[in-house]
A and B are shown apart, each in its own frame.
Chain A
Amino acid sequence: MSIAEKIKVLIVDDQVTSRLLLGDALQQLGFKQITAAGDGEQGMKIMAQNPHHLVISDFNMPKMDGLGLLQAVRSNPTTKKAAFIILTAQGDRALVQKAAALGANNVLAKPFTIEKMKAAIEAVFGALK
């Protein structure tokens, strides 16, 4: 069983198309346990019931944005150890710094290639295969 297969990933993005593309990219990288949520609130609900090892979350979302979700994940004892990668549609220095301060493990700017996503995940978990 590869490392990727063991990692439970939660995708959080308000755009259906982005969720599909993210899921597809993760599958190509060998991930098998993938869950998706449409906003931070829904994402946190899923995390609280079933903590995932890795959260890949968009920043710009209704209800609770990516940083809000990051804060919620980090302040819940059962989810605080999850790896967190935040996606941004527009590279924003301030956002990157805020994310780092709140405990994000990595930031990935959209649009990204599968290789870049792989690198971002491997920077957190080590080589996937």
Chain B
Amino acid sequence: MMTEAAGRRVHVIQGEFKVINDPNIVLSTILGSCVAACMRDPVIGIGGMNHFLLPGSATSNSSGDATRYGVHLMELLINGLLKQGARRDRLEAKIFGGAKTIARFSNVGEQNAAFARQFLLDEGIRIVGESTGGEHGRKLEYWPSSGRARQYALTGMEAQRAMQMDQRPAPVPKPVESSIEFF
């Protein structure tokens, strides 16, 4: 695994997305009840990953601001891919995460995964791989150029870290500059 060891690692944190067109880069993230969508255009080998937790998703409905936030991160990832030359009709996706890591967040992971699945279905983006749910967090690695993904179940210290990440305050959809520009 020399090539992988030599490759650069780019970490994606909650609320972020990254698009990569360098075959030497591996995208990585740590997921608890959050979900990461990995998307790529297999023809040109450009891909990316986002990482989201729908804020307050336990009470959200289809029209809620939480859903809009998830849609936003999906859109940023898709736009980022298209900007690099990917074609929408060729996009394929893998989704990971949505674990039931903390009892009191029982539904959140499941809802995050369901949201991602529904979004991709509605947008006509093929899901070529999925590992969601379960009771353990995941450490995820994704090579956008090959589409290969590798995950490790988190136990012990790492699991605690993942849970801490989940317990961070949900990101408030951050408006860039002011949300509304009047002129």
Residues of A within 8 A of B (CB): 14-18, 20-21, 24-25, 28, 60, 62, 89-91, 93, 96, 100, 106-114, 116, 119-120, 123
A106/B71 in contact, CB under 8 A: no
A18/B71 in contact, CB under 8 A: yes
B72/A123 in contact, CB under 8 A: no
Of B23-31, B34-42, B129-137, B169-177, the one touching chain A: B169-177
* Per-residue A-contact encoding for B74-105, CB less than 8 Å = 1, 0 else: 11101100100000100000000000000000
Of B60-68, B139-147, B148-156, B159-167, the one touching chain A: B60-68
Bound complex: CA of A120 vs CA of B82, how far in Å?
Answer: 28
Residue of B nearest to A117 (CB): B180
CB pairs A–B below 8 angstroms (11 shown): A17-B123, A21-B63, A21-B67, A62-B82, A62-B88, A89-B76, A111-B173, A112-B175, A113-B65, A114-B65, A123-B180
- The residue that B65 contacts in the complex, of A16, A108, A111, A123, with Cβ under 8 A, is A111
- Which residues from B are CB-within-8-Å of A109? 175-177, 179-180
A110/B183 in contact, CB under 8 A: no
CB within 8 Å for A21 and B182 given contacts A60-B79, A91-B177: no
- Which residues from B are CB-within-8-Å of A113? 65, 68, 173
Bound complex: CA of A107 vs CA of B181, how far in Å?
Answer: 6
Q: Identify whether the interface residues of B are mostly helix, strand, loop, or mixed.
A: helix
- Which residues from B are CB-within-8-Å of A89? 72, 75-76, 79
- Which residues from A are CB-within-8-Å of B63? 21, 24-25, 28, 114
B115 to chain A, nearest CB (A): 10
What is the number of residues of chain B that contact chain A, defined by CB distance less than 8 Å?
Answer: 28
A110/B182 in contact, CB under 8 A: no
A16/B76 in contact, CB under 8 A: no
Residue of B nearest to A59 (CB): B79
- Which residues from A are CB-within-8-Å of B173? 111, 113
- Which residues from A are CB-within-8-Å of B177? 91, 93, 109
Extra contacts, 6 of them, besides A18-B75, A89-B75 (Cβ < 8 A), are A20-B122, A21-B62, A24-B62, A111-B71, A113-B65, A119-B180
- Which residues from B are CB-within-8-Å of A28? 63
- The residue that A108 contacts in the complex, of B119, B122, B180, with Cβ under 8 A, is B180
Bound complex: CA of A93 vs CA of B62, how far in Å?
Answer: 31
Closest 7 A-B residue pairs measured CB to CB?
A91-B176, A111-B72, A24-B63, A111-B68, A111-B173, A107-B181, A16-B122
Bound complex: CA of A15 vs CA of B78, how far in Å?
Answer: 10
B173 to chain A, nearest CB (A): 4
A127 to chain B, nearest CB (A): 16
Which residues 44-80 of B sit at the A interface, judged by CB distance below 8 A? 62-63, 65, 67-69, 71-72, 74-76, 78-79
Bound complex: CA of A91 vs CA of B69, how far in Å?
Answer: 15
B179/A116 in contact, CB under 8 A: yes
